[in-house]
Amino acid sequence: DPDEYNNTLSFAQELQRYVNVTIVPVEEIMGKYVQYPYIVLVGRPDPESDTVAGLTYSLLADTGTVLEAMMEPDSHEIATRYGYWANPQTIVILSEAYSTDVFTVLQILRWRNVTVLPDYVLIEYQTQIANDMAAYTYTFNVNEIDVLKATDMILSITLGGLALPRLLIHRYDATTSPYLLTSDNGLAEGEVSLDKYLEITLTFTGTTVGTLQSALLQIYYRPLELDFDGDACIGLGDLNESTLCLYWYDEQSASWMRLSEDLDWVLDIGLNTTDVQLYGESYAGFIWVRVTHLSFFALAGELIVNEVTYPDLMLTIVLLCGGGLFALVFTYRWMKKPEKEKQKK
């Protein structure tokens, strides 16, 4: 969209110094260019507009606070959507643009190719994330809007070496997972599977060596995934949120094992049960783990039950005066099984 001081035009002209740029009205974008792998849109989102501002609003309508920040008057925000109309595809959206934004936009466009499908994200890095010596380590985040929406996960990865990473995240359910978590292959007694599985694969391309130093995984879960009986209320028969845990699939033994810090590749693990709104998605919390090995993971936990253990028996002898009759009155004090302590980050 044009602006009073022609900042958008200056931005486009500066961008044209480094890449081929075609400037088109919004009608042509929707008619001819939605299959293009790289698209840059400049316009503060406006639901009433029939210009680029209306298009940017529709592109960000499901992103919650991201859209709110972009709509703020005089805000200078950048958002990115991946695989929205085609794959791979990168759409960079600016609420307003200045010539100084060119290098930020170029980095987003050139850094990686991202393919987003339902329950599937493939990220192929095209330029080195770090340019220092191979002995150095560096960390990068994978926390984009469309990564979360497709996988319910965000990551922070620390690598060694300068090889180009290639990251694949695949989410499965009970109907699609190649390995189901059941009591027959490792699920602990008293626990149930959420039927939520995540496979994370990291490989490297290029001529240099790359190694995984560590990865912090945050796997989010929704209120609906805790509601086993489907009555829209968490209670008896539903999942006890404080017991959520992770399993990993060991292909050598063809069985599942519960994740714990007893494993030499698990550095830390925890649970955050705070409700959160993230990129327009509503979650009941997330389970997190820091590992040095990526694998096939599954979520599990215990159901909420009224379990009575170890009754405290109290015996009272009552003398009924006048009749000379002794009566034995048994009184039980029932104690519920204590819940496991919540582990929060």
Query: Contact 246/289 with Cβ under 8 angstroms?
Result: yes
For 118-306+341-345, give the CATH class.
mainly beta
* β-pair type (38-42, 90-94): parallel
Measured CA distances, 297 to 184, 293, 321 (Å): 17, 11, 68
Strands (E), the chain: 38-42, 78-82, 90-94, 112-117, 120-125, 137-142, 153-161, 164-172, 191-205, 210-221, 245-250, 255-258, 266-272, 276-278, 281-283, 285-291, 296-302, 312-320, 325-333
Per-residue model confidence as pLDDT tens digits over 156-169: 999 988 888 999 99
Local confidence pLDDT in tens for the 345 residues of the chain: 566 657 888 999 999 999 999 999 898 998 899 999 999 999 999 999 999 999 999 999 999 999 999 999 999 999 999 999 999 999 999 999 999 999 999 999 999 999 999 999 999 998 876 665 555 788 999 999 999 999 999 999 999 888 889 999 999 999 999 999 999 999 999 999 999 999 999 999 876 778 999 999 999 999 999 999 989 899 999 999 999 999 999 999 999 999 999 999 999 999 999 999 999 999 999 999 999 999 999 999 999 987 544 444 444 444 444 444 444 444 434 334 344 443 444
**Model pLDDT, residue 210:** 84
- For residue 52, give the 3-state DSSP assignment: helix
- Range list for CATH 2.60.220 in the chain: 118-306+341-345
> Count of alpha carbons within 13 Å of 303, Cβ hemisphere only?
13
Integer CA distances (angstroms), 267 to 152, 183, 212, 263, 270, in order = 22, 26, 13, 8, 11
- The type of residue at 191 is E
Number of Cβ within 10 Å of residue 181's Cβ equals: 25
- Answer yes or no: are the C-beta atoms of 218 and 154 closer than 8 Å: yes
pLDDT in tens, 191-239: 999 999 999 999 998 767 789 999 999 999 999 999 999 898 999 999 9
